[in-house]
Amino acid sequence: MTQAVRHDSMRARNLEVVLGEVSRNGPLTRAALAELTGLTKSTVSKLVGDLVDAGLLAETGPARAGERGRPGVDVVLSGARIASLGLEINVDYLAVRVLDLTGAVRFAARRDRDNRGSRPKKVLAELQALAEEAITEGRRLGLDLAGAVLAVSGPVGDGVLFSAPNLGWQDVRAADLLRLPVPVELDNEANLAALGELWYGGGERDFLYVSGEVGIGAGLVVNGELFAGPRGLAGELGHVVVAPDGPACRCGGSGCLETYAGQEALLAAGRTSTVADLLAGLDRGDQVALDACAAAGRALGVALTSAVNLLDLDHIVLGGVFTPLYPWLAESVAGVLAARLGGLRAAPPVLTASRLGGDAATLGAAGRVVHRVLADPAPFLVRAQEA
Amino acid sequence: MTQAVRHDSMRARNLEVVLGEVSRNGPLTRAALAELTGLTKSTVSKLVGDLVDAGLLAETGPARAGERGRPGVDVVLSGARIASLGLEINVDYLAVRVLDLTGAVRFAARRDRDNRGSRPKKVLAELQALAEEAITEGRRLGLDLAGAVLAVSGPVGDGVLFSAPNLGWQDVRAADLLRLPVPVELDNEANLAALGELWYGGGERDFLYVSGEVGIGAGLVVNGELFAGPRGLAGELGHVVVAPDGPACRCGGSGCLETYAGQEALLAAGRTSTVADLLAGLDRGDQVALDACAAAGRALGVALTSAVNLLDLDHIVLGGVFTPLYPWLAESVAGVLAARLGGLRAAPPVLTASRLGGDAATLGAAGRVVHRVLADPAPFLVRAQEA
DNA sequence: TTCATTTAGTTCACGTTGTAGACTAAATAG
DNA sequence: CTATTTAGTCTACAACGTGAACTAAATGAA
């Protein structure tokens, strides 16, 4: 449903266009921006001026010396004004991260603790303390906190975490248990990690991020945007059917991917109780561990085959516990994909490990706030009016 | 990549907003449009005036008599100016359809013929004749042809039909073999049929349309828009894995949905050679036919379970040969979905048969042109300038 | 050194578009 | 018949981008 345009929204849109162009295409002069956006030099100058005044853009030194005419002044995103807060609740730790508008990490902290079976209230009280530390540090740096996003692993809709298989939580309004100076948005870890990979990771604009935890989630990025389905619950890769007569799954079905490649299945097959133990076994070439990974990889390959056929993927990023396991998974996953997709597609999708590892979720969470500012900078120009 | 806004694009956008509002929300007065769009009455009046002059909107009689003040004048889409041409190549027939801007069918024709194994050139020559008939009729009605779209069953990218399992074609630039006064766009039948269902069918804004032919395709509609994946090749439901050790598939894999529920598998299991024979068998309660449908339905249920988990579907529309078979498929499909999805989701997705049947593809194809005009009416205002 | 050339950025009169409110039009209610 | 209510138009005005002239700052050739 497109919105009507008035003079103020025209301005807002053009501010967004200029800011977005600078954000994507590095340092740019006003002249280059005029070229790129199709706006005139005078308009670009006004817009850039306002954005500089607001502390969203900053002039760097003169650009491109050595060419003929007057050198332009390069403009870049400014890290001086905006702070965004990313939060994560994982099974084994709590994490926070503060980014500025340039995507630079200005603060990061992590508390290792086993959250399995902990009450939501207790976990969120500890996260609250961590978040307050981050906010204090942000304030000390002179930054305005523009928002906060909390990543949890499990399906999220309307602010409710429906179920978190790794924590044992059900129907928790996790973000509402935090008391922060800005509203906290709750979202799925796989989706946010996918966005983290998009903005601060591989640079691909189309891929499926697979998050292997106790459950197996996925975040789909298409043309640089997250695709979350009609209600935001897309990406339940863990319950894609691998073999209809396979082991019973907690979802009520049987033979879901999770029963082959979920953390519990993986550890059981490897006859270990922690991922660290499994990794140790793999490192010393333990055949049971190797076989467990190969089997999980084949199941993952089957599920991903279905995903590729449905979603037309050309790139798959393995995250969560699959990132450290990547060296022992990649061959069997890729093998199944190649065998099953070879007939119709020119090439099977490229398979890579997450570049960000465990940082992906908090980066994506904070990045979400950053990109919200980039997508609508107009509200942040009021400071200029105050001055 | 959002575009910069200038005065002319502001106008273009507002024309689009007004036209879109009328298109979605039936007859509306200028006052109601001002309310809905947030634009002022004077602006709306100007925009409506231009659209009426261009023949895209038309005033109907006074609206809503019996209330207090001066009655407004209702405005509706006008069918007087624009014609759009939808074309389809199916195994058993060629079809054309002309829609006006209101979505009314102004011309339709269909030639039954067996296209299995026919050379593309021959088939397209016949389609050319049919299209010329349609264009002549449109001209006779005083309509401007705004575009044409051709539906073919098989994956399409960059104007190339990569493979059409029911026709036996490979890598055909089908649209380029037509010589029409407007460019012809080529697209996948499942995608276009999904759009047909969206615009002229059930009225749902989120659903998966499943097209059962020799191959099994699908078109995903999310929030009233088609989701076609990064390269437009999404929706290959036929190669979602139902059982990893199942029958070999032409795609190189094994146990794909197509090997259980594709037309060939279905007819083989039903021991018939045509869909008509199978239907006859079902009608007289033939157990072999019933079993064939139940088995296909169960496989479809498994594949759709994976699709629902990945895409968060709440509505599935069965099209193609699955539409006539719906009464004998629905129970087993829905049964599998309910059993496998019951644990995590509030409710399994709603399953319905296509309301448009074989008309979905041409309606979607022509509708695509209609919606392109609705989405950017500005170029059609030139006629007003000429006058 | 000087000056033509080139490119960057600013200024300002202007055009396009939407706005706000007064105004006209056309209905109902008493 | 008149007050009231709502629809639609008209007009002075404001917001914003445009485009050309202008200033600024570099290079390169004489």
Q: In this predicted model, what pLDDT tens digit does every residue of B102-158 receive, in sequence order?
A: 999 999 999 999 998 899 999 999 999 999 999 999 999 999 999 999 999 999 999
Residue whose tokens read 């200028």? B30
- The torsion region of residue A371 among left (phi > 0), alpha (psi -120 to 50) and beta comes to alpha
Q: Which nucleotide is nearest to A48 (CA to C1')?
A: C9
pLDDT tens digits, A291-317: 999 999 999 999 999 999 999 999 999
The Cα-based distances of B256 to B61, B216, B244, B302, B303 in angstroms read 57, 10, 8, 11, 9
pLDDT band at A387 (very low <50, low <70, confident <90, very high): very low
Could you say which residues from 254 to 283 on chain A have a Cβ atom under 8 Å away from some Cβ of chain B?
Answer: 254
Min Cα separation B358/chain A (Å)? 23
**Interface residue B92 vs chain A (CB under 8 A):** no
The length of chain B, given as a count of residues: 387
Question: Which residue in A253, A302, A313 is closest to B305 by CB distance?
Answer: A253
Q: Is the distance between the Cβ of A67 and the closest atom of strand C smaller than 7 Å?
A: yes
Q: Which nucleotide is nearest to A7 (CA to C1')?
A: D15
Q: Are strands B57-62 and A350-353 parallel, antiparallel or unpaired?
A: unpaired
Interatomic CA–C1' length for residue A7 and nucleotide D14, angstroms:
10
pLDDT tens digits, A31-53: 999 999 999 999 999 999 999 99
Tell me how far the alpha carbon of residue B11 is from its chain's centroid: 30
State pTM to two decimals.
0.94
Cβ-contact B219, B118 below 8 angstroms: no
DSSP B212-227: ESSSEEEEEEETTEEE
pLDDT tens digits, A262-301: 999 999 999 999 999 999 999 999 999 999 999 999 999 9
For strand D, list residues 155-174 of chain A whose Cβ lies within 7 Å of it.
none
Residues of B in contact with A243 (CB under 8 A): 243-245
Count the helix, strand and coil residues of chain A and give each as a percent rounded to the nearest 5: 45, 25, 30
Taking C1' of D28 and every protein CA, the nearest residue is A68
Beta carbons within 10 angstroms of residue A31's beta carbon: 16
Distance CA A221, CA A284 (A): 36
For strand D, list residues 57-76 of chain B whose Cβ lies within 7 Å of it.
67-73
Tell me how far the alpha carbon of residue A274 is from its chain's centroid: 25
Taking C1' of C24 and every protein CA, the nearest residue is B70
User: Do residue A314 and residue B230 have CB atoms under 8 angstroms apart?
Assistant: yes
Query: Which pLDDT score is estimated for B386?
Result: 43
CA dihedral (A64, A68, A73, A75) positive or negative? negative
Q: Residue B88 in 3-state DSSP?
A: strand
Sheet holding B315-320, edge to edge: B225-227, B216-222, B207-212, B315-320, B350-353
Does position B203 have pLDDT exceeding 90, yes or no?
no
User: Do residue B243 and residue A244 have CB atoms under 8 angstroms apart?
Assistant: yes
Instruction: Report the pLDDT averaged over residues A6-34.
Output: 94
* Tokens matching residue A226: 């997250």
Residue of A nearest to B312 (CA): A234
Query: Which pLDDT score is estimated for A65?
Result: 64
**Domains in chain A, please, with CATH?**
2-77 (1.10.10.10), 82-195+361-386 (3.30.420.40), 204-354 (3.30.420.40)
Beta carbons within 10 angstroms of residue A117's beta carbon: 8
Does position A101 have pLDDT exceeding 90, yes or no?
yes
For strand C, list residues 228-257 of chain B whose Cβ lies within 7 Å of it.
none
Phi first, then psi, for residue B270 (nearest 5°) are -90, 0
